[in-house]
Amino acid sequence: MKNLMIILVLLGLLVSCQNHETTKQSPLPVIFDTDMGNDIDDALALAMLNNYMSESKLNLLGVVSSKKNIYSVEYIDILDTWYHHPGIPIGMTTKNRGPQDPGYTKKVAEMSDGGKKIFKRTLKENANITDAVPLYRKLLSKAKDTSVVIICVGFSTNLSGLLQSGADQFSQLDGKDLVRKKVKYLSMMACNFDGSIQFREFNVVNDCDAARDVFDNWPTQIIVSPFEVGMQVKYPASSILHDFNEVKYHPLAEAYKSYMKMPYDRPCRDPTAVLYVMEKDSNYFSMSGPGIVKIDTACASRFVPDREGNCRYLRLDSIQAKSVVKRLVEVVTMDK
């Protein structure tokens, strides 16, 4: 009888361990689409993704740039390497869209001390950079069905190219069907839905046709973090000045300092799209009802409520904004 009781206890422990393992969440597969170099908040967003990856909360499958500039790719590689994630696949658009000035990405990439470049990188000099759309198709084809979250904080150029792509060596599905099969949802920083702000949002206006194509044809859910949300959330200069002093040079801090004359608090439009994905159950944001997004011929964006629509957008009040700023600083400085 005693032996039987021991066996039952051991079996109970085994089942308990198995249940614990099955309930443990796997890292979320993410593809990050950015116009790195046009604004500093792209760099903040990529730092966040790397920190979440260090905590095993996500698997950054790849990063694609909608800015056709080699320094955009080089800086992405520098940041990934700095955060101990070298070799993450990187792609770049083949189309010229938006500003072509490399901005802070070139300044940081070319920083040297004693004639030697300061920041390590994984990509070899003059390496052939993979086109963004084939990289998208390769990464998605290998992923489990309905598992991947795409976070796009730049132009819609690569997303539209993916939708319009045809069957290739990676998948017999066309782009739209490949997205439908593999993508869980799309988190976008785009648009301006605040009618009191007469502003055509930067990411939309720099490739208006692509943005219209994505909002008209994307086959899964889209969560939009609009311009007015990010404008309420400003990353504090005090963090850059005081939280990165453990090293002489930090690629994120140096980029922030190079982007504008310090000190300045910069709106965090792009990091909100990341924070929603990674901490969507934390009530940092409110959410609109379902609808569709229309992009007119002047590249202005409009949200139209529709119960059958696949789009929703984030909202933020002043109390939530303070909580978001606090959390962003925590995540950005998590692994300095």
Alpha-carbon torsion, ordered 328, 293, 91, 74, to 10 deg: -40
The structural domain count of the chain equals 1
Task: Tell me the CATH number at 321.
Answer: 3.90.245.10
Calculate the CA 214 to chain-centre distance. 17
What percentage of the chain exceeds 90 in pLDDT? 83
Contact 67, 93 (CB under 8 A): yes
Backbone dihedral region of 103: left (phi > 0), alpha (psi from -120 to 50 degrees) or beta? left
- Give the Å distances, CA to CA, from 145 to 22, 39, 123, 213: 19, 33, 30, 23
Residue 16 resides in a domain: no
pLDDT band at 74 (very low <50, low <70, confident <90, very high): very high
**What is the distance between the alpha carbons of residues 127 and 159, in angstroms, rounded to a whole number?**
24
Q: Tell me the three state secondary structure of residue 27.
A: coil
Give me the pLDDT at residue 20, please. 41
Residue 7 resides in a domain: no
Give me the pLDDT at residue 7, please. 44
**pTM across the whole model:** 0.91
Among the residue ranges 8-12, 231-235, 259-263, the one predicted with the least confidence is 8-12
| Two tokens, residue 221 | 């859910």
pLDDT at 19 over 70: no
Give me the pLDDT at residue 18, please. 44
Residue 280 resides in a domain: yes
- Gap between the terminal Cα atoms of the chain: 57
Alpha-carbon torsion, ordered 248, 267, 159, 29, to 10 deg: 60
What are 62's strand-pairing partners?
A: 31
User: For the purposes of burial, counting CB atoms within 10 Å of the CB of 16, is it exposed (0-12), middle (13-18) or buried (19 or more)?
Assistant: exposed
Higher pLDDT, 186 or 115: 186
| Two tokens, residue 45 | 């967003």
pLDDT at 288 over 50: yes
Residue 6 resides in a domain: no
Residue 261 resides in a domain: yes
Which residues form the domain of 325? 25-332
pLDDT band at 336 (very low <50, low <70, confident <90, very high): low
Residue 5 resides in a domain: no
**What is the distance between the alpha carbons of residues 122 and 300, in angstroms, rounded to a whole number?**
39
Q: Tell me the three state secondary structure of residue 116.
A: strand
Residue 76 resides in a domain: yes
pLDDT band at 82 (very low <50, low <70, confident <90, very high): very high
Tens-place pLDDT, residues 93-104: 999 888 888 999
**What is the distance between the alpha carbons of residues 271 and 231, in angstroms, rounded to a whole number?**
11
Among the residue ranges 153-162, 180-189, 194-203, the one predicted with the least confidence is 194-203
Residue 199 resides in a domain: yes
| Two tokens, residue 233 | 């959330």
Bond before 267 cis per omega within 30 degrees: no
pLDDT at 125 over 80: no
Q: At 97, which amino acid appears? A: R
| Two tokens, residue 155 | 């132009």
**What is the distance between the alpha carbons of residues 154 and 214, in angstroms, rounded to a whole number?**
13
Give me the pLDDT at residue 24, please. 61
Q: Tell me the three state secondary structure of residue 97.
A: coil
Average pLDDT, rounded, for the chain = 91
What percentage of the chain exceeds 70 in pLDDT? 91
Contacts of 257 by beta carbon, 8 Å cutoff, 6+ apart: 240
pLDDT at 226 over 50: yes
Tens-place pLDDT, residues 154-175: 999 999 999 999 999 999 999 9
Give me the pLDDT at residue 281, please. 86
